[in-house]
Structures are given as structure tokens and as C-alpha cells.
Amino acid sequence: MTGMAREKKTGDAAGPAGRVTIDQVRRDPEVKAFIKKADENLEQLGYTEHGTRHAHLVSSIAENILLRLGRPQREAELAAIAGYLHDMGNGISRLDHGIAAALLAQTVLRRLGMPVEEYTEVMCAIGNHEEEYGEAVSPISAALILGDKSDVHKSRVRNIEPAAFDIHDRVNFASQKSFVSVDGGAKTITLELEIDTAGSQVMEYFEIFLSRMVMCRRAAEFLGCRFSLVINKSILM
């Protein structure tokens, strides 16, 4: 199973007045439509899965990173919301999709009643999640970066015919397990991968994901932590 187990179960009921919950966001029909269209666009362009599975996973990891580091629960929930909404902009265009997603998130969260002080934090995190121009500028953005860049797994590959794989398909399909672990006491955040080297060499992982791992290291440092990458039980970063 990819990702990090949740430490708590968020209730289905809406929160207090002005407190938009992650469950409200997940149930929202407009959000569902945006994510569905984004994933359809990326499928046509030949990208790996970016649908509700990816959204749920990134949301969960981002939330749990902050919880395990002792950050405020509401801050962790805002990270979960940012994680769930971060790729909606792909429904408009792959280019600058983080900026588009941030603007779409604003319309959704304002409609749901989230205070401006909160939805601007979510927008900022979403707008900074891509390595082409993004950077960890807040705990929420740092957690989102770590959650997003850690989703490497065979379940993301749409076409399971090996002859048709590109390097991204090979690396993802060869990834049998990915897991983010956080040691709040030791201040470490570790991405652990199990890669079937018969399907893809570890060097191919670095060929396409090195910039993402550097971004994860910087995000962890923003949170006052050290980032480690462990592949097949060997520490590589």
C-alpha cells in the first residue's frame, strides 16, 4: 500500500461555522467534477493517474506529516484540503496547473464558507507544489510537496503493457511500495521505496525524480527536519 496510514478519522459532519472540513471538500460535486476532468485530460496526454486515488493519498500524507510533527490540528486539516485540491488545475491545462488549481480552490472554498485567512494559505500551498516554480513557503506547502512527490507506485500506471512503457511508466510500475514515515522526536521524514529492479533500475528513478527529491529535502528542512530517501533498504539521501 502506498503512503502513510491516517492517525485519525475525520467525521462526516460539517465543522463549526466557518470551519470547512476535508470531508466537505471531498463530497463537493464541483470538486469531484474538477478532479475527474483533470484526470481525463492527463490520461489523454499520456500521464500517470492523477485522480481521486492520488488526491486522497496526498491529502492523507500531508495531514499526517504535520500531525506527527506536533503542528496544530487545523493546520494539518488545511494541508489535507490543499492536498486534495492540488491537481484540479490539470482540468484546464497541464501548463501552470498549480496556479490554475489554486484559483479553482479559492472559488470552491469561499463558496463553502472558509475564511479568507485560511483559503489564502491553501491557495499558496497549491500554487507552490510544482518543482518548476514552487518552493516550501509554509508548513502547509511543505507538507503538500512531500505528500505529492512521494506518490510513486505501480497503481498509477494506466497502460500495463510493458512494451508501451516510457521511463515514467517503468519507474512507477516497478515501485512495489512507497511509504512516508515521520519521526517527530528525531525530526526526520523518510520516503521508503521498494523497487523491482527487474522492471526499472534505481538510476532511472533519479533520472526523472531527482529534482523532486531535492524539493522534498528543502520542504523537510522548512519543517525543521532531515529528509531521507531509502530504496530497497539502502539509504540514498
Structure confidence at residue 16 (pLDDT): 57
pLDDT-based confidence at residue 33 (cuts at 50, 70, 90): very high
Percent of the chain scoring above 70 in pLDDT: 90
| pLDDT for 131 beyond 60 | yes
Phi, psi of 11, deg, nearest 5:
-70, 160
Q: What is the pLDDT of residues 137-159, one digit of tens each?
A: 999 999 999 999 998 877 777 77
C-alpha cell at 88: 484540479
pLDDT-based confidence at residue 163 (cuts at 50, 70, 90): low
Percent of the chain scoring above 90 in pLDDT: 61
Average pLDDT over residues 102-123: 97
pLDDT-based confidence at residue 176 (cuts at 50, 70, 90): confident
Dihedral of CA 109/7/209/152: which sign? negative
Who has greater pLDDT, 196 or 136?
136
- 118, amino acid identity: E
Structure confidence at residue 7 (pLDDT): 40
pTM, rounded to two decimals: 0.87
pLDDT-based confidence at residue 4 (cuts at 50, 70, 90): low
| pLDDT for 172 beyond 70 | yes
How far is residue 113's CA from residue 121's CA, in Å, rounded to a whole number? 15
Is 127 in contact with 102 (CB distance < 8 Å)?
yes
Query: In the chain, what are the domains?
Result: 22-235 (1.10.3210)
